A and B are shown apart, each in its own frame.
Chain A
Amino acid sequence: MTDLAWLVPALPLAGALLLVVFGTRIGEPRAGWLATLATASSFVVTFLVYLDLLGMPSEERLHVVRLFSWIPVGSLQVDLAFLADPLSITMALFVTGIGSLIHLYAIGYMHGDPKFSKFFLYLNLFVFSMLALVLGENLLVTFLGWEGVGACSYFLISFWHTRESAAVAGKKAFVTNRIGDWGVMTAMFVAFSAVGSVSYKTINEAAHEGSMSQTAISAIAILLFVGACGKSAQLPLYFWLPDAMEGPTPVSALIHAATMVTAGVFLMTRVGPVLAASYGWVPDTIAVVGAATALFAATIAVAQHDIKRVLAYSTVSQLGFMFLSIGSGAYVAAIFHMVTHAFFKALLFLGSGSVIHGMHHEQDMRKMGALRATMPVTALTFIIGWLAIAGVPPFAGFWSKDEILLYVYADNRLLYAVGMVTALLTAYYMTRQVILVFFGKARWHDASSEHGAHGDFTPHESPRVMLVPLVVLAALSGVGGFIQLPFSKDLHFLEHWLAPAVEESERSINGTWAYDNKYVLLGVAVIVAVAGIALSVAVYGKRRLPAVEPKLLENAWFYDASVAKVVGGPGAAAFRGVAAFDARVVDGAVNGAGAMARGLGGIVRRAQTGFVRAYAALIAFGAIALLAWFVWRGWLA
């Protein structure tokens, strides 16, 4: 079965191709069902591969499926090959699994959209690219998927492209991601010049055995991290993600919460041995950037009013946690948090989509409230998602966040404190959101005049096709944490499963103070989560404390605005300068060469009179001249 791993990306690709040809013909809702079927069957194949790998002894669980030689150029040999190992299959499982649920949900959410089939075409293409990214055996196949998900993200953010803000947001995401892509490409060049291959196996082995210089190793690591910063929305390149919420909500859930934005974390884990062998400041940088992003985004989320923007900043913050984990050498914890985050964040996004759907496209939380009565299923599932992200045991987020913080504590206590503050803020702003949306007084009656056509406006519960994914994801958010329980080594299921893929890079914390006192840290985590929730209830539920939502935080520390100012002012001037240099100097040289050849030709062509007798005369005189020259030479000799 592992030999059929290539079917995993091939099925969504086939779905996308079928939709290209027949999409508009089969129309709604069959296009949606076709896309869902393609992704779901890909999930089934992934699951079979998973069972197959599970049946093998752990050291044999690295299976390469070579399809054909893709780029054979001299010493650069790149195969189109897929790597089925515990890491890639874990990623593929939740990409296809959550992807199928979101496809199903989108059938309900995109109901009545004029571009219904095109939406599913893009979704399927996205799933294909994402699977190519995670299953790639070498950097180039991953890069193919990497660019593919970037393009699909662009298509889907600007899906409602007639809306100015959506078109701009799509462009912003694409351009920002290009900066990261530069890092990945340059890392590939460095890897090729250092070891003559872009295969993960070769690079990781060279790094592990030290047959590559440490400078080259560090260069690869830091350049790939630049790419990861772009794709996974870390400081300083995070600002495209909140704007990406302009896309339809299923897109936000699938691409900008659960799967694509975790690609950077995945890439870092894949090249773990490279990170482990690089200079000490490389993992430290990653940890600091992750912690800074986590805290920074959490502070912003506190003061947002758009229901999806809160979740967007929360995603940036949680991704920061994952990078903090990577930087601290805790790869299993990072993947663990990635999986649980995919469950509860997809759930929260789909829940917010359900709210938006029920509220007739109202996204401002100040105009919501008391929705638990009219939308019971959405409310209940959303609350489970909230408990999971806030870090309340026994929900999924608690276990994974705690695992990360345990490793961080062993690595650096200052960063641990930053992580704890972030966890407090996370519990606080998520509670705020739940209270504003589902509890308190209904504030949507005031807005009824704006919804003229609807007359007496009441929010309604979403159709069943949208609720089923919510319930499934809520169940997963409830029990997802049990794949890695901290209590005993036997309960580290995820760690045992991932071992062959990460054992070379994973840091051991056995014997540290943190490990011996992990129950103390667990207790602290629970207290912090409960404190955050209690604080938020006091502010937004009981109204005992004033709400602190300064303009500075609402505008995201004016970071985005400052970047826009720099890029729009001096940046644009510099770009114009470069363009002018290109037009005058570079193009001038090229055009000058052409003009010179033309000018010379214009002079010389006059010799071609077109009179055949003139040519004959020239030949004759030429012959005579040659003859004279020979005679003269013979005479001299």
Chain B
Amino acid sequence: MPAPTTLSYLVVAALLFAIGAFGVMARRNPLIMFMCIELMLNAVNLSFVALARELTDIGGQSIVFFVLVVAAAEVVVGLGIIVSVMRNRSSLTADDLAELKG
């Protein structure tokens, strides 16, 4: 089996991103949607690392650290919102939260 090339990493990243995007659009459970967003973020992280190695540029890897930190912060806020909304309502889908519609 040949050693994986940069291209194969990028293909995997693209697949992960597409799965995540599909999940965000297709699922109604906010928690699942949230996990799908994480998947998309990590797909991007993977492509960053692969390209950093290909181009021997440390910049790509350092961006990944930023993404990880921001994603962690985002998880804290997002999960907090989702948990408190769930406490107030018995059942919940993302479509029920339409108070801000025009």
Is B24 interfacial (CB-CB < 8 Å)? yes
Q: Which segment of A161-169, A401-409, A605-613, A629-637 sits at the interface?
A: A605-613
Compute how far the CA of A605 lies from the CA of B94 in the bound complex, rounded to whole angstroms: 20
Shortest C-beta distance, B16 to chain A (Å), equals: 15
A-facing residues in B15-41 (Cβ within 8 Å):
21, 24-26, 28, 33
Q: Are A611 and B24 in contact (CB under 8 A)?
A: no
B-facing residues in A333-373 (Cβ within 8 Å):
none
Shortest C-beta distance, A531 to chain B (Å), equals: 91
Q: A611-B94, A612-B94, A612-B97 are in contact. Are A617 and B25 (CB under 8 A)?
A: yes
Compute how far the CA of A620 lies from the CA of B21 in the bound complex, rounded to whole angstroms: 8
| B97: nearest chain-A partner, CB-CB | A612
Compute how far the CA of A576 lies from the CA of B78 in the bound complex, rounded to whole angstroms: 62
Compute how far the CA of A110 lies from the CA of B2 in the bound complex, rounded to whole angstroms: 114
> Which residues of B have CB within 8 Å of A607?
102
Q: A620-B21, A620-B25 are in contact. Are A613 and B95 (CB under 8 A)?
A: yes
> Which residues of B have CB within 8 Å of A611?
94-95, 98, 101
Contact pick for B24, options A604, A605, A606, A613, CB 8 Å: A613
Most buried by B among A607, A609, A612: A612
Is A596 interfacial (CB-CB < 8 Å)? no
> Which residues of B have CB within 8 Å of A613?
24-26, 28, 33, 94-95
Q: Are B25 and A610 in contact (CB under 8 A)?
A: no
| A605: nearest chain-B partner, CB-CB | B102
Interface size on A, residues (CB 8 A): 13
> Which residues of B have CB within 8 Å of A617?
25
| A617: nearest chain-B partner, CB-CB | B25
Is B100 interfacial (CB-CB < 8 Å)? yes
Compute how far the CA of A613 lies from the CA of B102 in the bound complex, rounded to whole angstroms: 16
Shortest C-beta distance, A610 to chain B (Å), equals: 3
> Which residues of A have CB within 8 Å of B94?
611-613
> Which residues of B have CB within 8 Å of A609?
98, 101-102
B-facing residues in A574-612 (Cβ within 8 Å):
604-612
| Contact mask for chain B residues 31-60; partner A; CB cutoff 8 A; 1 contact, 0 none | 001000000000000000000000000000
A-facing residues in B61-98 (Cβ within 8 Å):
94-95, 97-98
Compute how far the CA of A611 lies from the CA of B28 in the bound complex, rounded to whole angstroms: 10
Q: Are B95 and A606 in contact (CB under 8 A)?
A: no
Shortest C-beta distance, B95 to chain A (Å), equals: 5
Interface size on B, residues (CB 8 A): 14
Is A616 interfacial (CB-CB < 8 Å)? yes
Compute how far the CA of A15 lies from the CA of B100 in the bound complex, rounded to whole angstroms: 59
Q: Are A616 and B102 in contact (CB under 8 A)?
A: no
Shortest C-beta distance, B69 to chain A (Å), equals: 23
| B98: nearest chain-A partner, CB-CB | A610
Q: Are B99 and A610 in contact (CB under 8 A)?
A: yes
| A618: nearest chain-B partner, CB-CB | B25
Compute how far the CA of A332 lies from the CA of B18 in the bound complex, rounded to whole angstroms: 98
Shortest C-beta distance, A361 to chain B (Å), equals: 71
Q: Are B24 and A608 in contact (CB under 8 A)?
A: no
> Which residues of A have CB within 8 Å of B95?
611-613
Q: Are B101 and A616 in contact (CB under 8 A)?
A: no
> Which residues of A have CB within 8 Å of B33?
612-613
> Which residues of A have CB within 8 Å of B98?
609-611
Shortest C-beta distance, B17 to chain A (Å), equals: 10
Q: Are B25 and A608 in contact (CB under 8 A)?
A: no
Compute how far the CA of A605 lies from the CA of B100 in the bound complex, rounded to whole angstroms: 11
Compute how far the CA of A109 lies from the CA of B98 in the bound complex, rounded to whole angstroms: 75
Compute how far the CA of A606 lies from the CA of B101 in the bound complex, rounded to whole angstroms: 8
> Which residues of B have CB within 8 Å of A620?
21, 25
> Which residues of B have CB within 8 Å of A604?
102
B-facing residues in A502-536 (Cβ within 8 Å):
none
Shortest C-beta distance, A621 to chain B (Å), equals: 10
> Which residues of B have CB within 8 Å of A608?
100-102
Compute how far the CA of A437 lies from the CA of B102 in the bound complex, rounded to whole angstroms: 82
Q: A611-B94, A611-B95 are in contact. Are A616 and B100 (CB under 8 A)?
A: no
| B21: nearest chain-A partner, CB-CB | A620
Shortest C-beta distance, A623 to chain B (Å), equals: 9
Compute how far the CA of A157 lies from the CA of B101 in the bound complex, rounded to whole angstroms: 61
Compute how far the CA of A607 lies from the CA of B100 in the bound complex, rounded to whole angstroms: 12
Q: Are B100 and A610 in contact (CB under 8 A)?
A: yes
Shortest C-beta distance, A598 to chain B (Å), equals: 13
Shortest C-beta distance, B35 to chain A (Å), equals: 14
Compute how far the CA of A610 lies from the CA of B100 in the bound complex, rounded to whole angstroms: 6
B-facing residues in A452-511 (Cβ within 8 Å):
none
| B24: nearest chain-A partner, CB-CB | A616
Q: Are B102 and A606 in contact (CB under 8 A)?
A: yes
Shortest C-beta distance, B82 to chain A (Å), equals: 12
Compute how far the CA of A334 lies from the CA of B21 in the bound complex, rounded to whole angstroms: 93
Most buried by B among A604, A607, A613: A613
Compute how far the CA of A522 lies from the CA of B94 in the bound complex, rounded to whole angstroms: 105
| A602: nearest chain-B partner, CB-CB | B102
Q: Are A616 and B99 in contact (CB under 8 A)?
A: no
Compute how far the CA of A616 lies from the CA of B23 in the bound complex, rounded to whole angstroms: 10
Compute how far the CA of A604 lies from the CA of B25 in the bound complex, rounded to whole angstroms: 23
Compute how far the CA of A604 lies from the CA of B102 in the bound complex, rounded to whole angstroms: 9
Shortest C-beta distance, A347 to chain B (Å), equals: 78
> Which residues of A have CB within 8 Å of B28?
613
Shortest C-beta distance, B20 to chain A (Å), equals: 11
Compute how far the CA of A422 lies from the CA of B24 in the bound complex, rounded to whole angstroms: 99
Top 10 A-B pairs, shortest CB-CB distance: A610-B101, A610-B98, A605-B102, A608-B102, A616-B24, A612-B94, A617-B25, A616-B25, A609-B101, A610-B100
**With A609-B102, A611-B101, A613-B25 given, can you name 14 additional A-B contacts, CB distance below 8 Å?**
A608-B101, A608-B102, A609-B98, A609-B101, A610-B101, A611-B94, A611-B95, A612-B33, A613-B24, A613-B28, A613-B94, A613-B95, A617-B25, A620-B25
Q: Which residues of B contact A (CB under 8 A)?
A: 21, 24-26, 28, 33, 94-95, 97-102
A-B contact pairs, 15 of them (CB 8 A): A604-B102, A608-B100, A608-B101, A608-B102, A610-B97, A610-B100, A610-B101, A611-B94, A611-B95, A611-B101, A612-B97, A613-B24, A613-B26, A613-B33, A616-B21
Q: Which residues of A contact B (CB under 8 A)?
A: 604-613, 616-617, 620
